[in-house]
Amino acid sequence: MTKITGIHAKTLLSAVKPGTDNWFGLRYNLNLYRGCQHGCIYCDSRSTCYGIRNFSDILVKENALQLLEKEIRSKRERGTIGFGSMNDPYMPLEKELKITRRALEIVNRHRFPVHLITKSNLVLRDMDILKELSRIYAAVSITITTADDGLSALIEPGAPASSERFEAIRILAANGIYCGITLMPVLPFLTDQPENIEKLVLKAKESGASYIVAAMGMTIREGQQEYFYGQLDQKFPGIKDRYMQLFGLQYSCNAPNHRKLRQIYDTTCRSLSMPQHMKFYNDRKEKQMKLF
């Protein structure tokens, strides 16, 4: 059973060095919780370096909204605030607590752009605020690693099924929200089939996604590795040995056929005119619009 504990944070908004985030265009990171209920077996946030003793237990930052109100006023540079770098901002607990929703209301009042990264269709609850934020900039990236609902239930047991996430993309897009898919990680020997990559791109297009961002591999390091390998033993007997033989203790683990997968991904995206990069917030464009 998940243990939920309240904590007091010292800071909330962490700065991202300008120009260093070529994936999501973030200037600030924000995490309202520590730990995550989605239980994804591959999650890098379990790594020992992050100092979270039990990632399955949830620490709720009880003073997060007060900190956000204070810290956002002190930020001289307007830049994209990212939700979801260390946990999912729409894990099941958020349905009750509504901390992410209230944080978005604060961000909206201060006219900062946002990027939400999630695996949950609960993001649809906040459509009204997202429409307001879209006047500045709002992006929603939904992570989908497999087109197979049965497999997603094994590797992401606490998250909605992949089909539900595609439906969330469809609804967001139909409501004019800039949204897309993060196809990452790709798990060697589990989700690295060419047909899976091709199908994910096709379904992204069908769902109305504006972009798809992919990485053809995963990362493994201390803390995360032990948990991941334990889950492989339970759910996919024999796969762990293949990981240990091929990757050893290395941090970056590309799928053995990653070049072929990248070629299939690139070709499919081009054939469907599917952008492989996001459009980032442009502060200069907003200032120019104000002048006119």
DSSP string for the chain: ---EEEE--S---EE--TT--TTT--SEEE-SEES-SS--TT-GGGSGGG--S-TTSEEEETTHHHHHHHHHHH--S--PEEE-SSS-TTSTHHHHH-HHHHHHHHHHHTT--EEEEES-GGGGGGHHHHHHHTTT-EEEEEE---S-HHHHHHHSTTSPPHHHHHHHHHHHHHTT-EEEEEE-PPPTTTT--HHHHHHHHHHHHHHT-S-EEE-SEEE--TTHHHHHHHHHHHHSTTHHHHHHHHHTT-SEEE-TTHHHHHHHHHHHHHHTT--SSPPPP-HHHHHHHHH-
Instruction: Indicate the range of 25-29, 52-56, 105-109, 204-208 predicted with least confidence.
Output: 52-56
Let me know if residue 285 belongs to a domain.
no
CATH number of the domain within which 88 lies: 3.20.20.70
Confidence of residue 62 (pLDDT cuts 50, 70, 90): very high
> Binning pLDDT at 50, 70 and 90, where does residue 292 land?
very low
pLDDT, residue 203, reads 98
CA distances from 44 to 72, 126, 130, 201 (A): 28, 27, 28, 24
Is residue 287 in a domain?
no
Do 103 and 49 touch, CB atoms closer than 8 A? no
User: Distance (Å, rounded) from C-alpha 38 to C-alpha 147?
Assistant: 18
Measured between alpha carbons, how far is 244 from 290 in angstroms, rounded to an integer? 56
> Does residue 79 lie within any of the structural domains?
yes
In 3D space, the residue among 137, 123, 110, 224 whose CA is nearest the CA of residue 168 turns out to be 123
Question: Among residues of the chain, what percentage have pLDDT more than 70?
Answer: 97
Of all residues in the chain, what percent carry a pLDDT higher than 90?
89
Average pLDDT, the chain: 94
Q: What is the pLDDT of residues 233-258, one digit of tens each?
A: 999 999 999 999 999 888 999 999 99
- Residue 160 belongs to a domain: yes
The neighbouring-strand residues paired with 141 are 117, 180
**Mean pLDDT on 181-185:** 98
0.85 exceeded by the pTM? yes
Counting the structural domains of the chain, the total is 1
Task: Give the C-alpha separation, 243 to 251, whole Å.
Answer: 12
Residue 197: domain span:
4-279
**Predicted local distance difference test score (pLDDT) of residue 150:** 98
Q: pLDDT at residue 285 above 70?
A: no
Residue 19's pLDDT is: 83
Reported as a single tens digit per residue, the pLDDT across 125-153 is: 999 999 999 999 999 999 999 999 999 99
In a domain, 284, yes or no: no
Cα 236 from Cα 229, distance rounded (Å): 10
Tell whether 99 is covered by a domain: yes
Distance of CA 56 to the CA centre of its chain: 17
